[in-house]
């Protein structure tokens, strides 16, 4: 019985340590759990062009245009959104820089603007999926 408890304790401690290590290497924007399970596409998997993506934000649809050059994200333009400028707008500005810096949407949401952040990241991810799989480009 004692050996079983010791073994269980070791597994619990290892699980906690591995979970903490996963958070340590992830770019943080506020809420450490918001984007933890977000799917990530590998950098360089994208075809060059300008790709449109859309997703639901807090106040409505968020549409983005993502520019890909040499397989990397080079720019993001907000095509349409109705988010509050001081909350969702500020969160999206912060996420712009992080998406470009890490060339990924595998980021956490900005605390206090979780739905706007998730909508923005999902819209960019939608564009990236089109760049990875779809024929041609939109512009």
pTM over 0.75: no
CA distances in angstroms from 97 to 16, 85, 136, listed in the order given? 31, 17, 27
Could you tell me the strand order of the sheet in which 49-56 lies?
49-56, 61-69, 72-80
| Confidence label for 40 from pLDDT (cuts 50, 70 and 90) | very low
The residues with which 68 forms a beta bridge, in sequence order, are 49, 73
Residue 118 Cα to chain centre, angstroms: 7
| Confidence label for 116 from pLDDT (cuts 50, 70 and 90) | very high
- Which residue, 128, 132, 134, is CA-closest to 54? 128
How far is the C-alpha of 24 from the C-alpha of 4, rounded, in Å?
31
| 12-16, 85-89, 111-115: the lowest-pLDDT one | 12-16
């Amino acid at each position: 019985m004692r050996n079983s408890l010791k073994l269980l304790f070791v597994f619990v401690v290892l699980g906690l340590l591995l979970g903490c290590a996963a958070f340590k290497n992830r770019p943080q924007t506020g809420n450490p759990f918001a984007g933890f399970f977000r799917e990530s596409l590998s950098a360089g998997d994208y075809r060059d062009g300008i790709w449109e993506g859309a997703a639901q934000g807090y106040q409505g649809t968020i549409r983005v245009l993502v520019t890909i050059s040499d397989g990397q994200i080079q720019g993001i333009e907000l095509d349409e959104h109705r988010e509050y400028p001081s909350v969702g707008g500020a969160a999206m500005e912060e996420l712009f820089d992080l998406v470009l810096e890490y060339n990924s949407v595998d980021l956490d949401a900005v605390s206090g603007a979780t739905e706007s952040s998730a909508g923005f990241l999902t819209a960019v991810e939608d564009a990236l999926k089109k760049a990875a799989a779809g024929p041609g480009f939109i512009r």
